[in-house]
Every structure is written in structure tokens, then in C-alpha cells.
Amino acid sequence: NAGVTQTPKFQVLKTGQSMTLQCAQDMNHNSMYWYRQDPGMGLRLIYYSASEGTTDKGEVPNGYNVSRLNKREFSLRLESAAPSQTSVYFCASKTTGGATDTQYFGPGTRLTVL
């Protein structure tokens, strides 16, 4: 049982390049989330998917798109990377959309945009 996995672990992009961050969970969870972590700012929600087939914007969605490919997988795409998107990206999942459930986090992707 791997939990939440993310690929790649590290990535360096040039300004204007595109890339997709992959996330998969094997816990049969319905809800999945993408966060970014910046020093002194905690984690901020980019997008979330309450269930398969639905996606919604979080606090900082500009410059990102997401796809809930199936129940297991939730990808985050940067169409035209900017230096302001240099960050550590975390994917998380939980059983339902309920507020009391625990979110389980992946190990993160460290992205640098030059």
C-alpha cells in the first residue's frame, strides 16, 4: 500500500515551458487536492476534486489546470511556467468530501522555474 505517490520528485523548468505533475493514490479515496508550499506561507490550496469527474478552484488557481483522470489519479498542469511558480507541490487525498476526514499527503514535487 503506497498511499499517495507523486512524480517527479524534482523538476527544473525554464520560463514558458509546460509540464504536468502526476499524483496517484491507492486508498480508494474520493477526494483529492493540490497544494503549493512556500516559505512562511504554509500550504495553499490550488485545486481540488471532491469526487471523480469534478474539479474546483482553490485559493491560488491562476496559472494551473487540473485533470481528474480517474478515481486514482489527479494531475496538475502548468501551461507556461513562471518563476513565481517555483514551489513545493503536494498532492493529498481523503475518503470523502467530509470536513472531519484526515487528508493524506504525498512526498511532494520540488519545482524550480528559471
Partner 1 sequence: AQSVTQLDSQVPVFEEAPVELRCNYSSSVSVYLFWYVQYPNQGLQLLLKYLSGSTLVKGINGFEAEFNKSQTSFHLRKPSVHISDTAEYFCAVSDGTSYGKLTFGQGTILTVHP
Site membership for partner 1, residue 52 (CB under 8 A): no
DSSP code, position 81: -
Q: For residues 55 and 62, is the Cβ–Cβ distance under 8 A?
A: no
How far apart are CB 18 and partner 1 at their closest, in Å?
25
CA–CA separation, 92 vs 102, rounded Å?
10
Residue of the chain from 11, 19, 52, 58 that contacts partner 1 (CB under 8 A)? 58
Phi and psi at 84, nearest 5°, equal -70, -10
Q: Which is nearer to partner 1, 6 or 85 (CB)?
A: 6
Site membership for partner 1, residue 90 (CB under 8 A): yes
Ramachandran class of 9: left when φ > 0, alpha when ψ lies in -120 to 50, beta otherwise: alpha
Q: Which is nearer to partner 1, 40 or 53 (CB)?
A: 40
Which residues lie near partner 1 (CB under 8 A)? Answer: 4, 31, 33, 40-45, 48, 50, 56, 58, 90, 92, 94, 96-103, 105-108
